[in-house]
């Protein structure tokens, strides 16, 4: 029988939640094991937020450079060096990863063991770790935190094995520009990559199975984004269900799509599948510990992030629900509050903001108009095109609109959708008002600096009374 090492706490995965928990527990004097099978930092740092937003920044520079003449600035012809873009991204990722590695070393004086390898449950509180360096180790603890996240869902259509299919990770390692990138999926990952590669110089076709892009947003949001993407020269094929793939000569890929009008062939040089993500629970074998999963493989938790097994918790994407880094970090805060600070935190009534880093940015929080109407709420809707915002006009970036949903009785803001320059930052201002339960009139009558984008909020909320 292999010897089992006892810890007070085991954390599996080193993402937002997984990186802070081990440190918090070791600083509190606990003996902690942290297990990671991949690069330190998880998806956000290595293949999610950090690399994509770094590349989005390069794409935006290319976009503005091409529009230089609009601002009276002369430039030469614009071209993008994808290898240099990738190098900038890789440096950024490496910096973030090293930063995290440094944090762990800092607490090395405390009782924190980093085990590099894949963990799987072999009994309720016992894990076997297949170490990268070879061999296995058995570890046990009364407290276990699962932060194993997710990975891209694989495309499953006929003859998919015939072609090379990119995912959100592999596309960022291309060293030459796709001539024509086909993207299956009109969610946020498909949109961010679609616009990014269009700006780098590729032709883009987005194939969306649903009747509109960003299916969970209000229709006016989807329509405006579709309009913007088409203006940018991106082909958006709505309501198209991918059927089969074929590798043609000349490195061409042919995708057959079923539409209402019949079958249609779309040809491209590369194919990106951006069709969602699946939880990393197979290799972990949580069922060996009696941990219940839902039918999609996500770990079932309650509002205190407790799994079906006492002492075992799940945080981040692996538990389902909104899959964002700030959610994973908030999960960490809940666990720290409850387990180290004797508090009583939960996910109940948690309002999760998000930003989609297309250009113009799309910031969202709270209820959409559709959700509010479905609930039969008595609402008023404030809406303002960005071309009515002086700052947007001055900077020549007037696409999109701001929209806020207001409870007609309490005058409080229920939610907002800001599709516009720095939409994520503007949304955060409204988020703070929502957190403070302020009536919309406070923002309507606030003094904001002229000329900032925030000043547009005065005008947005004035529309309610006009």
Ligand X SMILES: Cc1cc2nc3c(=O)[nH]c(=O)nc-3n(C[C@H](O)[C@H](O)[C@H](O)COP(=O)(O)OP(=O)(O)OC[C@H]3O[C@@H](n4cnc5c(N)ncnc54)[C@H](O)[C@@H]3O)c2cc1C
Which residues have a catalytic role annotated?
450
Three-class DSSP category at 227:
helix
Give Rg (Cα) of the chain.
Answer: 24
Choice between 12 and 460, CB closer to ligand X: 12
Choice between 182 and 379, CB closer to ligand X: 182
Q: How far is the CB of 279 from ligand X (least distance, A)?
A: 9
Q: How far is the CB of 172 from ligand X (least distance, A)?
A: 8
> What is the arrangement of strands in the sheet containing 180-184, beginning at the earlier edge strand?
165-166, 270-273, 180-184, 203-208, 235-238
Q: How far is the CB of 64 from ligand X (least distance, A)?
A: 21
To the nearest 5 percent, what fractions of the chain are helix, strand and coil? 35, 25, 35
Taking the C-alpha atoms of residue 314 and residue 280, their distance in angstroms, rounded to an integer, is 12
Note whether 20 and 11 are within 8 A (CB): no
Taking the C-alpha atoms of residue 368 and residue 283, their distance in angstroms, rounded to an integer, is 37
* Residue number of the CB atom closest to ligand X: 149
**Pairing state between β 270-273 and 126-131:** unpaired
Backbone dihedral angles phi then psi of residue 145, each to the nearest 5 degrees: -115, 125
Q: What is the dihedral of CA 360, 364, 369, 370, to 10 degrees?
A: 100
Which residues face 312 on adjacent strands? 144
Note whether 368 and 383 are within 8 A (CB): no
Note whether 310 and 299 are within 8 A (CB): no
Choice between 284 and 443, CB closer to ligand X: 284
Choice between 187 and 456, CB closer to ligand X: 187
Choice between 369 and 422, CB closer to ligand X: 422
Contact residues for 256 (Cβ-Cβ < 8 A; gap 6+): 242, 243, 244, 245, 246, 263, 264, 265, 266
| DSSP letter, residue 296 | T
Choice between 18 and 400, CB closer to ligand X: 18
By residue count, the chain amounts to 466
Note whether 314 and 37 are within 8 A (CB): no
Q: How far is the CB of 40 from ligand X (least distance, A)?
A: 8
Q: How far is the CB of 104 from ligand X (least distance, A)?
A: 13
Taking the C-alpha atoms of residue 212 and residue 221, their distance in angstroms, rounded to an integer, is 10
Choice between 58 and 256, CB closer to ligand X: 58
Q: How far is the CB of 444 from ligand X (least distance, A)?
A: 30
Q: How far is the CB of 353 from ligand X (least distance, A)?
A: 10
- CB-CB neighbours of 20 under 10 Å: 19
Q: How far is the CB of 41 from ligand X (least distance, A)?
A: 7
Q: Please state, in angstroms and as integers, the Cα–Cα distance from residue 169 to each residue in 49, 162, 272, following that order.
A: 11, 20, 10
Note whether 246 and 162 are within 8 A (CB): yes
Note whether 236 and 213 are within 8 A (CB): yes
In the complex, the residues that contact ligand X under the rule CB under 6 A are 12-18, 35-38, 42-44, 48-49, 52-53, 118-119, 147-150, 168, 189, 280, 283-284, 316-318, 323-326, 328, 357
């Amino acid at each position: 029988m292999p010897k089992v090492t006892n810890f007070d706490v085991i954390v599996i995965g080193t993402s937002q939640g997984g990186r802070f928990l081990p440190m918090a527990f070791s600083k509190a004097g606990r003996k902690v094991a942290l297990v990671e099978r991949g690069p330190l930092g998880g998806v956000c740092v290595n293949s999610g937020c950090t690399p994509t937003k770094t590349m989005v920044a390069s794409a935006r520079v290319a976009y503005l450079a091409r529009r230089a003449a609009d601002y009276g600035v002369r430039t030469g012809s614009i071209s993008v060096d994808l290898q240099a873009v990738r190098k900038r991204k890789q440096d950024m990722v490496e910096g973030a990863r090293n930063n995290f590695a440094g944090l762990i070393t800092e607490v090395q004086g405390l009782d924190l063991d980093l085990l590099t390898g894949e963990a799987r449950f072999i009994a309720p509180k016992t894990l076997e770790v297949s170490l990268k360096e070879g061999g296995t180790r058995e570890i046990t603890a009364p407290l276990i935190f699962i932060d194993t996240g997710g990975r891209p869902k694989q495309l499953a259509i006929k003859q998919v094995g015939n072609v090379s299919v990119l995912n959100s990770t592999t596309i960022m390692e291309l060293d030459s520009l796709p001539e024509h990138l086909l993207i299956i999926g009109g969610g946020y990952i498909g949109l961010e990559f679609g616009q990014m590669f269009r700006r780098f110089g590729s032709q883009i076709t987005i194939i969306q199975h649903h009747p509109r892009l960003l299916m969970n947003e209000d229709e006016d949001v989807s329509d405006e984004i579709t309009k913007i993407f088409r203006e940018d020269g991106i082909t958006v094929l709505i309501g198209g269900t991918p059927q089969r793939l074929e590798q043609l000569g000349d490195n061409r890929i042919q995708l057959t799509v079923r539409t209402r009008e019949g079958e249609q062939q779309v040809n491209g040089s590369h194919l990106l599948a951006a069709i969602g993500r699946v939880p990393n629970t197979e290799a972990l074998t949580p069922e060996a510990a009696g941990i219940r999963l839902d039918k999609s493989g996500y770990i079932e938790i309650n509002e205190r992030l407790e799994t079906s097994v006492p002492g075992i918790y799940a945080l981040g994407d692996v538990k389902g629900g909104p899959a964002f880094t700030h959610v994973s970090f908030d999960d960490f805060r809940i666990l720290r509050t409850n387990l180290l600070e004797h508090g009583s935190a939960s996910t109940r009534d948690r309002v999760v903001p998000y930003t989609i880093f297309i250009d113009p940015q799309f910031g969202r929080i709270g209820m959409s108009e559709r959700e509010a109407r479905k609930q039969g709420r008595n609402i008023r809707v404030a809406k303002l095109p960005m071309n009515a915002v002086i700052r947007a006009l001055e900077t020549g970036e007037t696409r999109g609109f701001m929209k806020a949903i207001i409870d007609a009785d309490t005058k409080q803001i229920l939610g907002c959708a800001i599709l516009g320059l720095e939409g994520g930052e503007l949304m955060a201002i409204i988020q703070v008002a929502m957190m403070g339960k302020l009536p919309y009139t406070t923002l309507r009558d606030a003094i904001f600096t002229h000329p900032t984008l925030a000043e547009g909020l005065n005008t947005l909320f004035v529309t309610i009374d006009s």
